[in-house]
Structure 1
C-alpha cells in the first residue's frame, strides 16, 4: 500500500508537470498576436492545432499499440522531452503563423504519450480504486492545464518567455522523474502481437461503447469551455464595466476543476463512477443552458457560476476513463484509453471551431448554449450504461 501511494504521487506530479505546455500557447497568444501582427482568428487555431496534434498522436499510438507493447514509463519520458522542445519553439525570434501552429501541433502530438499513457500506468498499478486514482491523476492534468494562466496572472509571469521556459522545464523534469521512479506496474500485461484492428473491435463491447460515447459528450463541452473562458471573462468585463484579470481568473476557474476531479475520485469509492459522472455532467449541462443569464448577474454571481461550471465540467472526466478502462481486458487498456482520447479530442476541435465562428456573428453571451449538446448526448448514453 505504501508503494502504491508513493507511485501514485510520482505519477500525479509528472502528469501535472508534463501537461503544463497544453495551454501555454493560448496563455500568451495576445502577446504573440501583438508582436507578430497575427489575425485575431489565430486564437481558435492555436488550441485546435494542439488538439489536432493530440488526435494524430493518439491515433498512431493506438494503431501501433505503443503503450501496450512498450514500457509506458519510457514512452512517457521520451514524449515529455519532445513536447518540451516543441513548446520552446514559441520563444524563437522569427515566428510565423504556420510555424506557431506547427509547434503547437507537435506539442499536442507528443502529449498523446503523456495524458493517456499516464492513465495506463495508473491502471497498471490499481486494479481496485482506479476511479479514485484517476480522479487525482486527471486533477493533476487539469492543474497543469491551468498553470500557464496562473503564471501569466502574476507579475512574475508577464513575460511570455517566462511562461514557456517554466512549462518546458517542468515537462522535462516530470518525464525523467516518472521514468526513474515508476517501473512497470504489477497488473501490466504486455501485448506481444500487433493487432491493427484491436481498436475498432473494442466498440463491439457494449460497456466500452456506452462509456466511450458518454465521454465523447463530455469532450464536446470541456475544451471549448476552457478555450473560451478568457473570451467569456473579457465579454463580461465589457458588458459590466469590470476589469477582472482574464489570465488569473481563467487559471482559477480551471484549477478548481482539478480539485473537483479529486473530490469525484473520492466520491466514486462510495457512489460508483457512473453516478459521479452522471451528476457532474448534469450540472455542467445546466450551466451551459443557463450561461446567457450569467452575463446579466452581478460580478460575484457571474464568477461563482463560472467557477461551479469549471468544477463540474472536469469532475466526470476521470470517471469516464475508469468506466472505459474497466470495460476492456488488461492487455488492451492502453490502446482503448488512447483511442477514446483520440476520438474525444477530435470532437473537441469541432466544438472549439464552432464557438470561434459563433463568437464573431452572435452576442457573446449566447455562444455557450451550443455546448449543452455534449452533456445531453453523454447523459443519454450514460443512463443506458448498466455497468460501473
Structure 2
C-alpha cells in the first residue's frame, strides 16, 4: 500500500474515531431539557454539567502536557485508554442522580480524559502534514463538531430517553477508542515540546502570539456557550411558535446546527492555507457575531427562519478554531510550541467555562429574546485582534501570509 493510501485510510479512521469518542462531550447537555424536567434542575446546574467537562478538559490538558504523556507511550494506546475511561465515566452518570456532586464529578472526569483524545488525535493527524496543516487540523476539528453534535441526533431517534442517549454515546466512544489502534502514525511524528511554566508568559509578551491568542479567546467566549444552549433555545423557540413535539425537533436541529461547522472547517482550512488565517478567521467571526445578535429577535418566530439562522450560525461559529491553533503553532519557536498551545487551550476553555456558566443567569434576567447578545463581544474582540495581527510583518509567517 502506498504512503498516500495509508495516509488517507488512517485519517479517515482517525476522524471516525474522533466523532465517536467526542460524542461524550455534550452527551448530558443533549438531554438537558429532559433532565431539567424530570429532576427539576435549575439552569445553573444544567450549565454546570457542561462547564464541568470543559474544566476537566483544561486540567487534563495541563497534566498531559506537563508529564508528556503522549510522548512516553504509543499515543494511540493513550488515546484508546482515555476513550474507554471516558465511556466508563459517562456510563456511571446514568446511575447517579443528575445535579449531585458525584454526577458533576463524573462530567469533570469525562472532560479530563478527553484531553487524552482530542489533542492526541491532532498530534497523530499532524504527523501526516505536508503543506496541508490547516486542512488537517480543520478536518479534526470538524470531527469534534460532528461528535459533539451526535448526542442530539441520538436524542431525536431515542425519543429523548436520556439514559438511552448516554448508553449509546458510551458504547460509541469505546468503539472509537478501539478503532484508533488501526490508525498508522505518519512520517513527521516527533516528540511534543514540553510544557514549561517559565515560558508560558511568552503567550502574552510576544505580540503576534498574543494577538492570535486573543482571537482564539474571543472565539471561545462564543462557541461553547452557543453549543451548550442552542438545544434549549431551539426547544423554547419552537414551543413558543406552537410546534408540536418541540423538544424532539429541537434535538434534531441542534445536531444539524453544531454539525454544520464540520464541512466548513475543512473548507476553511483549505482557504486559510491559501489566502491567510487572519482573513479567514475575521470573516467567520463577523458572520457568527451577526447570528448571535439575530437569535434573540427571531426567538419564537417562523420555525424555518429560526432553523436557517441556527444552521448558518453553526456553520460559522466554529471553523476558525483550528486556524487559531495553527497560527499560534506557526508563530511560536519550535521549543515553545507545546507550551504556547497548552496555554491557549487552557485559557480559552476557561473563558468558555465562564460564558457557559453565566448564560442561565442572563437568560433568567432578560429572557431568550436577548439571551445570546453578550456573546457578540467575543467575535468583536477576536476580529480586532486578528486584523491587528494582519498588519504586523510577523503575519507573513502564517500560511497565506497577510492576503
Is 1:373–2:374 an aligned residue pair?
no
CA distance in 2, matches of 1:266, 1:68: 29
**Residues 38-61 of structure 1: CA distance to partner in whole angstroms, max 9, x if unpaired?**
445321111111111112112222
Q: How far apart are 1:111 and its partner, in Å? A: 1.0
CA contact (8 A) 2:129 2:188 kept: yes
Aligned to 2:214: 213
Is 1:304–2:305 an aligned residue pair?
no
CA contact (8 A) 1:15 1:140 kept: yes
CA contact (8 A) 2:68 2:194 kept: no
Is 1:282–2:292 an aligned residue pair?
no
TM-score when scaled to structure 2?
A: 0.88
Q: How far apart are 1:212 and its partner, in Å? A: 1.5
Task: Please point out which of 38, 63, 88 is paired with 2:91.
Answer: 88
Is 1:54–2:57 an aligned residue pair?
yes
CA distance in 1, matches of 2:286, 2:365: 28
- What SS does structure 1 have at the residue aligned with 2:227? helix
Q: How far apart are 1:177 and its partner, in Å? A: 2.0
Aligned to 2:69: 66
CA distance in 1, matches of 2:379, 2:207: 20
Pairing 1:154-303 to 2, within 5 Å after superposition: 154=157, 156=158, 158-183=160-185, 185-190=186-191, 195-243=196-244, 244=246, 245-295=249-299, 297-303=301-307
Could you tell me which runs of 5 or more consecutive residues in structure 1 were left unpaired when the two chains were aligned. Answer: none
CA contact (8 A) 2:92 2:106 kept: yes
CA distance in 2, matches of 1:39, 1:136: 36
Q: In structure 2, do the counterparts of structure 1 residues 379 and 194 end up closer, same or farther at CA, with 3 Å as the change threshold?
A: closer
CA contact (8 A) 1:24 1:148 kept: yes
TM-score when scaled to structure 1?
A: 0.91
CA contact (8 A) 2:44 2:361 kept: no
CA contact (8 A) 2:62 2:342 kept: yes
CA distance in 2, matches of 1:298, 1:194: 50
Pairing 1:285-364 to 2, within 5 Å after superposition: 285-295=289-299, 297-330=301-334, 333-364=337-368
Residues 131-140 or 329-338, more deviating: 329-338
CA distance in 1, matches of 2:26, 2:338: 24
Give me the CA root mean square deviation.
2.3
| Equivalences, count | 386
Q: How far apart are 1:34 and its partner, in Å? A: 4.5
Residues 3-12 or 60-69, more deviating: 60-69
CA contact (8 A) 2:14 2:183 kept: no
CA distance in 2, matches of 1:191, 1:262: 24
- What SS does structure 2 have at the residue aligned with 1:128? coil
- What SS does structure 1 have at the residue aligned with 2:243? coil
Q: In structure 2, do the counterparts of structure 1 residues 188 and 207 end up closer, same or farther at CA, with 3 Å as the change threshold?
A: farther
Is 1:106–2:109 an aligned residue pair?
yes
Residues 47-56 or 239-248, more deviating: 239-248
Q: In structure 2, do the counterparts of structure 1 residues 95 and 160 end up closer, same or farther at CA, with 3 Å as the change threshold?
A: same
CA distance in 2, matches of 1:348, 1:66: 25
Moved over 6 A (4+): none
- What SS does structure 2 have at the residue aligned with 1:90? helix
CA contact (8 A) 1:189 1:330 kept: no
Q: How far apart are 1:95 and its partner, in Å? A: 5.8
